[in-house]
Amino acid sequence: MDFTLSPAQLELQERARVAGEAIRHRAARWDRENHVPYQEVVDHVRNHDLLALTVPVEYGGKGLSALDYLVVVEALFRSSQFWIVGEPVFATAGPGPSMMLLAENPATREKFLPGLVKGEQQCAIALTEPGYGSDLTSLETTAVKDGDSYIISGDKNFVTGAQVNDLYAVFARFDDIPGHRGIGAVVIEKGTEGFHIDDGPEFLGCRGVPHGDLRIEDVRVPAENVIVGPGKFAKLMSAFNMERLHNCGFNLGMASAAYDEAQKYVSERKAFGRPIAEFQSVYHTLVDMWTDIEALRLMAQRAACTAGDGSHPKVLETTAAKLYGARVASGITLKALELHGGYGATTGYPIERLHRDVVATIVAGGSPPVLRNSIAATLMPDTRISQRG
Ligand SMILES: Cc1cc2nc3c(=O)[nH]c(=O)nc-3n(C[C@H](O)[C@H](O)[C@H](O)COP(=O)(O)OP(=O)(O)OC[C@H]3O[C@@H](n4cnc5c(N)ncnc54)[C@H](O)[C@@H]3O)c2cc1C
């Protein structure tokens, strides 16, 4: 077992670090104004050659591994200290493109992947509905076949980057088939008649582009926009292991950034005539933060390494790593905030933003209890884990 990154991975990590650091000074303003010049961020990430990382070379992507992806996003988040720089990476290699690679119809891949790999188009994901978040398999958005096309109707909310993306991988129920068996995914293109995008509620963290709402009113899509039809829910969800890996990279990067800020602060701040870093409870706190980050990194890297050639990371390892990240990351950012004393609660230091961004994502991509249910179903296959009332 070799835990060292290869020279190519170290180069990738350094490139991501440089890309993130270049925009760090803008994070506070983007967060405060709740506005990001998103196209600039996309161009910036493209200029550092960090788009379509895991899309195979035959489709114009970089053909890199899930571990490479994790290394990049961790470095981007750590050095930028803000969530937005990871979005173009996610939207060009995360679950949207990953689902398209699973598409049985080659026309789907040929239609959408060329634009995605160049960053000319980006794909948001739309699973959550106002009435169904964790209870995804009850979703009510419908896909009804009409001749050669499908008519899609329903409401989606909390869609990250709702306004700034071009494609929307929308989960829908086909042919009124109940439960998970009826669920598939289709691509809706921005500008299609009947497709409306609203800003949605304001978030406490991960601000700057809306996590918006979609109103889908009898939107007609051609058959090649069907990514995966009904009866293949498990296959469809395997693409979301890339989202969970992204969540791990986010928690790793942001927790590490919080550690960096805390270490710097306690070395400079003095109390009782000495740097506060010299108090045992302070350096013990830093050690505990560092240890949790190391443990999360090991779990996340192991999860990434379960992705074989052309496949996604395995569900058990990725879910466990995401769960661990959700449990420890906000504790780390809160400890870092506390080490800043009263200044940690002010907008004069980045730590309060790091904490808000981490808190905002605790339930994104699956809340901790839902992740525990998923893990329990694997650990105890003979126990009935169904949550239905
Ligand atoms: C920052 C952010 C970005 C997001 N981006 C997207 C996106 O791009 N696309 C998208 O589709 N969605 C997105 N979401 C939505 C996210 O996936 C949902 O919020 C999440 O799945 C939870 O759904 P919910 O909010 O409806 O909460 P609910 O499902 O109503 O859950 C409420 C509470 O009940 C608990 N709970 C529910 N069921 C169970 C159970 N069986 N056992 C124990 N406890 C349970 C939950 O853990 C939670 O604490 C985003 C959310 C956030 C916060």
Atom of ligand 1 at shortest range from CA of 162: 8
Atom of ligand 1 at shortest range from CA of 126: 11
At 239, is the secondary structure helix, strand, or coil? coil
| pLDDT, position 25 | 98
| pLDDT, position 385 | 81
Q: Ligand 1, atom 27: nearest CA belongs to which residue?
A: 133
CA of 134 relative to ligand 1 center, distance in Å? 5
Q: Ligand 1, atom 48: nearest CA belongs to which residue?
A: 367
Test site for ligand 1: of 246, 367, 386, most ligand atoms within 8 A of the Cβ: 367
Q: Which residue ranges have their beta carbon within 6 Å of ligand 1?
A: 125-128, 133-134, 158-160, 206, 211, 360-361, 363-367, 369-370, 373, 387
CA dist 172 and 187 (Å) reads: 10
Test site for ligand 1: of 251, 327, 363, most ligand atoms within 8 A of the Cβ: 363
Q: Which token pair is 131? A: 């009435």
| pLDDT, position 384 | 83
What is the architecture, at CATH level 2, of domain 236-379?
A: Up-down Bundle (1.20)
| pLDDT, position 206 | 98
**8 Å CB contact between 42 and 119:** yes
Q: Ligand 1, atom 51: nearest CA belongs to which residue?
A: 364
| pLDDT, position 389 | 74
| pLDDT, position 1 | 85
CA of 194 relative to ligand 1 center, distance in Å? 26
CA of 27 relative to ligand 1 center, distance in Å? 26
| pLDDT, position 69 | 97
**8 Å CB contact between 180 and 137:** yes
Q: Which residues of 267-278 are buried (b: 16+ CB within 10 A; e: fewer)?
A: eeeeeeeeebbe
Locate all alpha helices (DSSP H) within the chain, ordered by sequence: 7-24, 27-33, 38-47, 66-80, 87-93, 95-102, 106-117, 233-238, 241-268, 280-305, 315-339, 351-360, 368-379
What is the architecture, at CATH level 2, of domain 123-230?
A: Beta Barrel (2.40)
Q: Domain ranges for the chain, please list them.
A: 7-117, 123-230, 236-379
* Neighbouring C-alpha atoms within 13 Å toward the C-beta of 235: 16
CA dist 108 and 100 (Å) reads: 7
CA of 18 relative to ligand 1 center, distance in Å? 33
Task: Count CB atoms within 10 A of the CB of residue 87.
Answer: 26
Each of the 389 residues of the chain gets a pLDDT tens digit; together they read: 889 999 999 999 999 999 999 999 999 999 999 999 999 999 999 999 999 999 999 999 999 999 999 999 999 999 999 999 999 999 999 999 999 998 989 999 999 999 998 989 999 999 999 999 999 999 999 999 999 999 999 999 999 999 999 999 999 999 999 999 999 999 999 999 999 999 999 999 999 999 999 999 999 999 999 999 999 999 899 999 999 999 999 999 999 999 999 999 999 999 999 999 999 999 999 999 999 999 999 999 999 999 987 678 999 999 999 999 999 999 999 999 999 999 999 999 999 999 999 999 999 999 999 999 999 999 999 998 887 77
Q: Which token pair is 12? A: 């990738």
CA dist 159 and 387 (Å) reads: 25
Atom of ligand 1 at shortest range from CA of 387: 41
At 224, is the secondary structure helix, strand, or coil? helix
Looking at 1.10.730.10, 1.10.540.10, 1.10.8.420, 3.40.50.720, the CATH number of the domain 7-117 comes to 1.10.540.10
Q: Which token pair is 341? A: 């004393």
CA of 137 relative to ligand 1 center, distance in Å? 13
Phi and psi at residue 142, to the nearest 5°: -110, 150
| pLDDT, position 387 | 77
Collect all residues with Cβ–Cβ distance below 8 Å to 33 and sequence separation of at least 6.
none
